[in-house]
Structure 1
């Protein structure tokens, strides 16, 4: 039904307009306690075989929603109720900003992909913090993804990230430093180790100082050279980070300017995951994202060493119950292989 609706109706509407309408609907759902709890009971992962622990946080299932959808932390509860094991909100910047001029979001339907050049459009860290302080009506693991405010010079980037971290780290189940979006000028320069080290160290000081110590991860681009992937992995170990998210969107494509996500990213994302696993083993939590479309992709990422897997573009093409379906299929597959826990699959072919 959803595929018919998408092919006949939704694909003909502006992609960003559909996105905003979906977020508004889920924000409304988040404010309806009885309906939200009913959906959560029906769709959220509840099978014990799916439970995963990473950096001291307990996840009901390994498959979560990547950053980019819930930019202002407005509908995480509803997203969780639809079956995601965690929700990463953002990217959030210290100061509110409108992002890049529209149009800035484009579907590539034959490739089951999306190009975006949104530019971290969000209402800022203070507004997101107010939303995250609200009592959660259903269980949801919330990661918070922070990025650099566009007008802040590169030399002042660390302070900008620290401003966001001070507001958001105490309210997050885990915190992510995003230095890999292609849509903020100069941002990817911060992936260079000499620039990344002081930035991560400053944010880590904030995360370590929260009452429960907030786990800290860094998100990297698929377009890093292999040697640079290794360098970031070594830096993460050196600084005592909790994990790496691999990968963000790629700029290696033809067409509209911006970052490409979806099916074309699948191969490189998996390559980076395997390289990271070979470099760090199980000393860091690896979160794999990029080109994840179905249970086979999630299973492959687990076998390659990911503890958690994320998707977003696949949700656009597979409909609202995608995550719930993937989790049910994962549970069946784990039992088929004689596993008592999905964690037994992690790294089997790394």
Structure 2
């Protein structure tokens, strides 16, 4: 069915197609019987897929990356598609419209997407209303936090603090997004001194939240694939020193190396999809090796098949996320990946996905 729907969607402007999909999911949320039927069809339940990561239980390791549910208003419907977890956002303290359209481009020859959305979202207060109104799925919900475009980098920690404080009760984990290429100057926060201050401020706020609410929520740092090895090593040292709970590798890339598409490849913004597969897996392996497997990693970038996901798990990812792969292959790809992972784990004699994490890395 999706090949037919894909032909229709791919005739639309990419952002219009996304908005149509979101409206369809909102309709699904109002049809509980249909939603449950879809979940029964696409959900893969198998003991080898479940795991505990940073104290959170995941029914399977395949999640949806941030950027799809930008406003945190369709995560209940997405939870019915077989995901092990869903990450919403990126959310900023104040609503913002993002960058000018057009800002989303397909590169079908490369199975890739270029976006320069710019953290368009309705703001954290609107997200709170969604969390208070919509039904809570049984799978974990991550919340991806960013800063507003007009907030100077010197005051960036305040934006992340506002997001964490406002949404603390609603996320099962939180992500500090300083690696999107689509907010000017944001990636400068990956520089050592800025990063130390940012993470220290955020973790101090998390400590206050723990005291107030008597529950600790894990915090991940999402990094760019365009770092040098020296920059990556420096960031990992800061992450370990500040006791951030985990890392997400990686965000979209500014590289255009090897692209076949000659129409959209010149567009500015972050590239996602198949061209990112190897680079993100390499960064996962590097993080796992440097941290000696002690830091949980969520792997994202160019996952289209069970083999793609399994490679990232064997490189050190405890969990994986997809997005562009779902655009090109449809929502059934979640079931296909989970079914394939069960077979791959059985083939290699791993009773659990946890046993396969990092087996290809020498530490």
Alignment-derived partner of residue 327 in structure 2: 316
CA contact (8 A) 2:284 2:315 kept: yes
Unaligned runs of 5+ in 1: none
Question: 1:330 pairs with 327, 332, 341, which one?
Answer: 341
CA distance in 2, matches of 1:86, 1:5: 25
Deviations for 1:267-308, whole angstroms, at most 9, x for unmatched residues? 211111111111112221011111111100001001111101
Q: Do residues 266 (structure 1) and 277 (structure 2) align?
A: yes
Question: What runs of 5+ residues in structure 2 fail to find an aligned partner?
Answer: 257-264
In the alignment, what sits opposite 1:299? Answer: 310
1:137, CA displacement in angstroms? 5.1
1:38 match: secondary structure: helix
Contact 1:40–1:138 under 8 Å retained in 2: no
Q: Which moved more, 1:269-278 or 1:135-144?
A: 135-144
Question: Which residue among 274, 279, 288 is the counterpart of 1:277?
Answer: 288
Distance of aligned partners of 1:3 and 1:33 in 2 relative to their CA distance in 1, 3 Å threshold: closer
What's the CA shift for 1:26? 1.0
- Asked if residue 112 in structure 1 is aligned to residue 123 in structure 2, the reply is no
Give the aligned partner of residue 185 of structure 2. Answer: 186
Alpha-carbon distance in 2 for matches of 1:30, 1:199:
37
Deviates more, 1:80-89 or 1:333-342: 333-342
The change in CA–CA distance for 1:154 and 1:232 in structure 2 (over 3 A counts) is: same
Instruction: Report what 2:44 is aligned to.
Output: 45
Superposition RMSD on alpha carbons, in Å?
A: 1.3
Q: Number of matched residues?
A: 349
Paired residue secondary structure (1:171): coil
Q: 1:239 pairs with 235, 239, 242, which one? A: 242
TM-score by length of 2: 0.93
Structure 1 match to 2:3? 3
Deviation of residue 25 (structure 1)? 1.1
Q: In the alignment, which residue of structure 2 is the partner of 1:100?
A: 99
2:133 and 2:31 map into 1 onto residues whose CA distance is 14
Shift of 1:207: 2.7
Rounded Cα–Cα distance in structure 2 between residues aligned with 1:290 and 1:216:
20
Aligned twin of 1:205: 204
**Change in CA separation of 1:76 and 1:285 when aligned onto 2, cut-off 3 Å:** same
Structure 2: distance between partners of 1:207 and 1:284: 19
Q: Distance in 2 between matches of 1:140 and 1:37?
A: 14
Report how far residue 204 of structure 1 moved: 1.7
CA distance in 1, matches of 2:320, 2:269: 23
Return the alpha-carbon distance in structure 2 between the equivalents of residues 87 and 251 of structure 1: 25
Shift of 1:169: 2.1
Supply the distance in 1 between the matched residues of 2:132 and 2:291 (Cα, whole angstroms).
35
CA separation of 1:47 and 1:270: change in aligned 2, threshold 3 A: same
Q: Partners in 1 of 2:347 and 2:333 — Cα distance?
A: 21
- Is 1:251 equivalent to 2:254 in the alignment? yes
Map Cα deviations across residues 28-87 of structure 1 (whole Å, 9 max, x no partner): 212332222232233223211100110000000011110000001111121121111110
Q: How does 1:78-93 map to 2 (within 5 A)?
A: 78-93=77-92
Supply the distance in 2 between the matched residues of 1:311 and 1:302 (Cα, whole angstroms). 13
Once residues 203 and 139 of structure 2 are traced to their aligned partners in structure 1, the CA distance between those partners, rounded to angstroms, is: 23
**Residue 89 of structure 2 aligns to a residue in which SS?**
strand
How far apart, in 2, do the equivalents of 1:124 and 1:231 lie? 32
1:67 aligns to 2:60 (yes or no): no
Question: 8 Å contact 2:95–2:123 — kept in the other structure?
Answer: yes
Deviation at 1:341, TM superposition (A): 1.1
Give the structure 2 partner of residue 218 of structure 1.
221
- 1:3·1:317 contact (CA, 8 Å) conserved in 2? no
Indicate if the aligned counterparts of 1:51 and 1:58 stay in contact, CA closer than 8 A: yes
- Cα deviation for residue 135 of structure 1 reads 5.7
